[in-house]
Amino acid sequence: MSPPSNFAKASAAGGLFVWVVLLFLTTSDSYETQLIHRVALFGKLVIVPLGLSVITRGADSLLYRIVVIVQPFAALVSAVSFLLETSLLAAVLSSTWFVFTGLVAILGITRIISRGLYPLEELSIDAGLLYLPVAGVWLVIYRFGIQPFGYGETIILLTVVHFHFAGFAAPIIAGMNGRVLARREYPRRMYAFSVFAIVAAMPLVAAGITFTPVGGLIGALLLSIGLVSLAILTIAWVIPAIGPIEKRSLLVIGALSNCAAMVLACLYAYSLVAQTLILTIAAMAATHGLLNAFGFVGWSLLAWALPTTATDPVYNQPAK
């Protein structure tokens, strides 16, 4: 029997096919919303199974098997909700994704209980698993069509996207990098700060989206510093330890896309505080959103999902 990680990778490949098909369908009358929908669907259909495929390869955990099997079903059912008007039915369909994200969070909790808070790279991965249900909650709210606290639907939708990519995927990527770093000499404090910044910035950025622009600016700066630090570690210490040129190339593209996306995020957060139009939400979706989703997260996770070779460190399992 093939390991469940292979099923997760197959789900990501199938999800990519479904996502391409969905590109030909209209999910909103607004170009801006339609674009954000496509990024959100890419997260559910491709990024989440790809992320799950790299965290515990070869693991025999029953819960992990359940999670990877449930994922494509939940993703497809919740994707259908985007083809409907906001309603109770759309919310019910999207709730399948919320239930799935709850299972993912439980997986993260069980990993912490069985292992403890160390090593840091594994805790980073667990943080990504624990953040995903936030996206699930806001997805149900978005598809139900309600706007708590007076938030607009675009703000709610952006929160969904944020916790799929920055919340779920970024800490997992940081953890995968850490597994390689754990086997060689590198600036350990720099990596520890990077993980702290990435994980701690999530609620601050979300607060900036929904509550206060100042909190968003602080979160954007903290997240940017953490991710740029991770990019430096990736290029200077991780990539030299990776054998195949295709993996190195993907990680370089991911790191550079990450840096560009973070510059745009800081500009946008600053514009909200200064009340000066620098980038519109539509422009952010078309630049920062695409760089982050397809450049940083997409290529980085694909690099880690590629099969290991004799010249690779065994980065799919924690260091002993």
This prediction's pTM: 0.90
pLDDT in tens, the chain (320 residues): 457 888 999 999 999 999 999 999 988 888 888 999 999 999 999 999 999 999 865 466 889 999 999 999 999 999 999 999 989 999 999 999 999 999 999 999 999 998 888 899 999 999 999 999 999 999 999 999 888 766 778 888 888 998 999 899 999 999 999 999 888 878 888 999 999 999 988 777 666 655 666 666 777 788 888 888 999 999 999 998 887 889 999 999 999 998 888 888 777 777 766 777 677 777 777 777 788 889 999 999 999 998 766 556 656 655 54
Closest Cα to residue 38, out of 50, 52, 21, 53?
21
Structure tokens at 104: 């993912």
Domain ranges of the chain: 14-305
Q: Based on the number of CB atoms within 10 Å of its own CB, is 31 exposed (0-12), middle (13-18) or buried (19 or more)?
A: exposed
Please say whether the beta carbons of 118 and 180 come within 8 A: no
Go through the chain and tell me how many residues it has.
Answer: 320
Q: Which amino acid is at 302?
A: L
Structure tokens at 117: 């808070």
Structure tokens at 224: 């940017």
Q: How far apart are CA 223 and CA 265, in angstroms?
A: 9
DSSP-assigned letters across all residues of 162-206: HIIIIIIIHHHHHHHHHHHHTTS---HHHHHHHHHHHHHHHHHHH
Please say whether the beta carbons of 34 and 28 come within 8 A: yes
